[in-house]
Amino acid sequence: MGDTKQSAAATAVTSVTEGGGPLLPTYGRYPLALVKGEGSRLWDEAGNRYLDFMSGIAVTNLGHVPPKVKEALVGQLDRLWHVSNLFRIPNQEEAAALLTANSFGDAVFFCNSGAEANEAAIKLARRYQQKVAGTGRYEIVTFRNSFHGRTLATLTATGQDKVKDGFAPLPEGFRYVAFNDLAALEEAVTDKTAAIMLEMVQAEGGIHAAERSYVQAIRKLCDEQGILLIVDEVQTGMGRTGKLFAYEHYGIEPDIISLAKGLGSGFPVGAIVAREKLREAFGPGSHGSTFGGTPIATAVVKATVETIVGDKLPERAAEMGEYLLSRLREALAGNETVVDVRGLGLIVGIECKEPVADRITAAQKKGLLVISAGPNVIRLLPNLLVTKEEIDEAVSILAEVTAE
Ligand SMILES: *Cc1c(COP(=O)(O)O)cnc(C)c1O
């Protein structure tokens, strides 16, 4: 027994020296510590410079340490940090007003992450069906290969088995169908269906966009059958796809969207935006969050949304996304290891025949940071202010590492 314990400790020490120290090893970490950032650039401890084409997984949409957001944050740090949601928080009301003025929505709830936003969306949909519409509906239909988060409800909503492995028993009331398959969805929907929840572009699932006619048919199905439509915009929102929100590409309006990643430019914050008819489903005491929408977080949200909308960054993302796609297609034409290059705005995937982990490390060694989306797809998520010169630099490194 004693021996077993000791060898377990020895193994633990080995992984400590490999990075992460006393942290639980929930992430496979690169042996790289980034200590400074500005715009599209990052620097490591040794002073090496990197071109960042992952933006902390679609978080730093305005680049690192964006000046206007920094100013708002520092200003708020001097005034007030926290008072609880038992008081009015003017920053929170103003941030919410910016989100509703620039979307389909009328009512906002602030939380702290994407999983929490989806958790709130699921709870709001069920509570609306049960307390306002009086249908008793509870089931949430989601899609294979989707990703909605790591809490028990949101990992259950996620259509990938690896995310659920070892966490049984899972909450009830979720059902999964193939993405972009209307017949499968029509078959899955019943008089128990409270909501359909989907990503307009499956991001973690490999950069797969929903088809326009499919999304319009889903909206119609929801309207006909009293089902709510939840769009998970945690990764696709905040200008990423070339619109402020990805649903805008589809000519429909959802009932609820969830936001997080790009919403705070790197400050942790999440939100849901919902239609007016859902407002009364979340009365006092029904849902809450101690930290949701603090004066600091919502000062950051305000500055982030003002910058994205005011500087027309979604349009810029659309233009730069087209440039990135066309440059990649040109540079990778004839490369037999590349299966497909696809994307919407500045969320772009390069699907390869083989796993891409080695190519990602090779790019890192050449000073370019990218991420995968599933085993075979290299995912590119530059910030919305990326320049053509930076895109050219990234494309030439990507051409080198995919040729090897
Ligand atoms: C990242 C992500 C989440 C989870 O967000 P967290 O902030 O990590 O909880 C949920 N949905 C989508 C689409 C995401 O990309």
Q: Give residue 20's pLDDT.
A: 80
- Rounded (5°) CA angle 364-365-367: 60
State if residue 260 touches ligand 1 by the CB under 6 angstroms criterion.
yes
In this prediction, residue 276 has a pLDDT band, given cuts at 50, 70 and 90, of very high
Kindly report, residue by residue over 167-226, the tens digit of the pLDDT: 999 999 999 999 999 999 999 999 999 999 999 999 999 999 999 999 999 999 999 999
State if residue 195 touches ligand 1 by the CB under 6 angstroms criterion.
no
Kindly report, residue by residue over 297-322, the tens digit of the pLDDT: 999 999 999 999 999 999 999 999 99
Q: Give residue 9's pLDDT.
A: 38
Q: What is the pTM of this model?
A: 0.95
Q: Which of 61, 261, 263, 265 to mutate to test the pocket of ligand 1 (most atoms within 8 A of CB)?
A: 261
Is residue 289 marked as binding? yes
Contact 363, 370 (CB under 8 A): yes
Q: Give residue 4's pLDDT.
A: 41
Q: Give residue 404's pLDDT.
A: 75
Q: Give residue 8's pLDDT.
A: 39
CB neighbourhood size of 217 (10 A):
15
State if residue 149 touches ligand 1 by the CB under 6 angstroms criterion.
yes
E-strand stretches of 80-165: 107-111, 139-143
Residue nearest to atom 15 of ligand 1 (CA): 235
Three-state DSSP at 256 gives: strand
**Percent of the residues in the chain that have a pLDDT greater than 70, as a whole number:** 95
State if residue 303 touches ligand 1 by the CB under 6 angstroms criterion.
no
Local structure of residue 129 (DSSP, 8 states): I
Whether 351 shows a pLDDT value over 80: the answer reads yes
State if residue 137 touches ligand 1 by the CB under 6 angstroms criterion.
no
Residue 149 CA to ligand 1 centre (angstroms): 5
In this prediction, residue 12 has a pLDDT band, given cuts at 50, 70 and 90, of very low
For the chain, list the domains and their CATH numbers: 69-310 (3.40.640.10)
Q: Which of 211, 222, 292, 294 is nearest to 253 (CA)?
A: 222
Q: Give residue 19's pLDDT.
A: 66
Kindly report, residue by residue over 227-248, the tens digit of the pLDDT: 999 999 999 999 999 999 999 9
Is residue 275 marked as binding? no
